[in-house]
Structure 1
Amino acid sequence: MNSATNSTAGTAASPMVGATAIAQTDTDDLVAALVDYLESGTQQGIFAPDVFADVTFPRWRIQTATAEDLLRLRSDSHPHPGRVRVERVDRLDDGFVIAFEERWSDDAESWYARELIRADVVDHRICELSIYCTGDWDSARRSEHDRQVTLIRP
């Protein structure tokens, strides 16, 4: 398992009527594979072919209905490789929620974003995603933030 998934792993469950609980090891494996994909761009069959994704940015919203479209959206918006720091993973009966920050470079600029993903899992594959992103912060935005805000936690 990728060491990034061990940072602040929590557990939470809210049983759903008719839902089939997924094993913790399945969740851990999927989270590790998702982090690997986010960092490398290499997808290990973790998405169902008809995975639905609803991606929300500060001023925009995009949806995809297939794994191919999701992978294209990701590769168009986030060049690889990058680094992911997992802040928290909450295991659910039918999937997981992961909070993380991401850093990457593009055209000699370093970028940063914080994201929260709610993933539904069926048959060991992610079948639905709700993704919330702060938007991409360049070095000027991060410097402005650092001058105006002192964070209590990273």
Structure 2
Amino acid sequence: MITFLETGRPPQGLFAPDVFCDFTMPRWRLQALGVPDLVALRLAGHPGPGRVPRHRLDPTPTGFVLEVEEQWEQDGEHWYCRELFRADVGAEGIERLSVYCTGDWDRARVAEHAAEVTLIRP
């Protein structure tokens, strides 16, 4: 999953062919059905490669929950977001994926946050 987030290309077997994705961001909600639509949904918001400097993975009885921080460059701007993924996994890969995103923060928003808030942990 981290490879997919960093490259935009899902490794073979990561997703079931008929994977369903329900993506929630601060002020909108989108859905995709099938691997091509899920990849297109991802690339619409994160068109280039990025990196996941921090993550936490917790198994569940039906799959996993993955919490990540992402960073990427787009059109000369540096971007940051935090996301939570809840995945149900079957024999062919991830069958259902729910994504909750904080929204994308540009360099100015990251600086504004750093000036106003001192985080206890990164």
Scaled by the length of structure 2, the TM-score of the pair is: 0.95
CA distance in 1 between partners of 2:79 and 2:86 (Å)? 23
**What is the aligned partner in structure 1 of residue 98 from structure 2?**
130
Does the aligned pair in 2 maintain the 1:48–1:125 contact within 8 Å? yes
Instruction: Report the CA distance between 1:124 and its aligned residue.
Output: 4.6
Structure 2 gap ranges (5+): none
Give the SS at the match of 1:116.
strand
Match status 1:152 vs 2:120: yes
Structure 1 gap ranges (5+): 1-33
Structure possessing the higher radius of gyration over alpha carbons: 1
Instruction: Read off the aligned partner of 1:139 and give its amino acid letter.
Output: R
Instruction: Read off the aligned partner of 1:112 and give its amino acid letter.
Output: Y
Within 5 Å, give how 1:1-154 maps onto structure 2: 34-45=1-12, 46-154=14-122
Identity %: 54
CA distance in 1 between partners of 2:120 and 2:9 (Å)? 34
CA distance in 2 between partners of 1:128 and 1:88 (Å)? 19
CA distance in 1 between partners of 2:2 and 2:80 (Å)? 16
Instruction: Report the CA distance between 1:43 and its aligned residue.
Output: 1.4
Structure with greater strand percent: 2
Scaled by the length of structure 1, the TM-score of the pair is: 0.76
Give the SS at the match of 1:131.
strand
Q: Number of aligned pairs?
A: 121
Instruction: Report the CA distance between 1:63 and its aligned residue.
Output: 0.9
Aligned CA RMSD, in angstroms, stands at: 1.0
Instruction: Report the CA distance between 1:87 and its aligned residue.
Output: 2.9
Give the SS at the match of 1:132.
strand
Q: Give every structure 1 segment of 4 or more consecutive aligned residues whose post-TM-superposition deviation is greater than 6 Å.
A: none
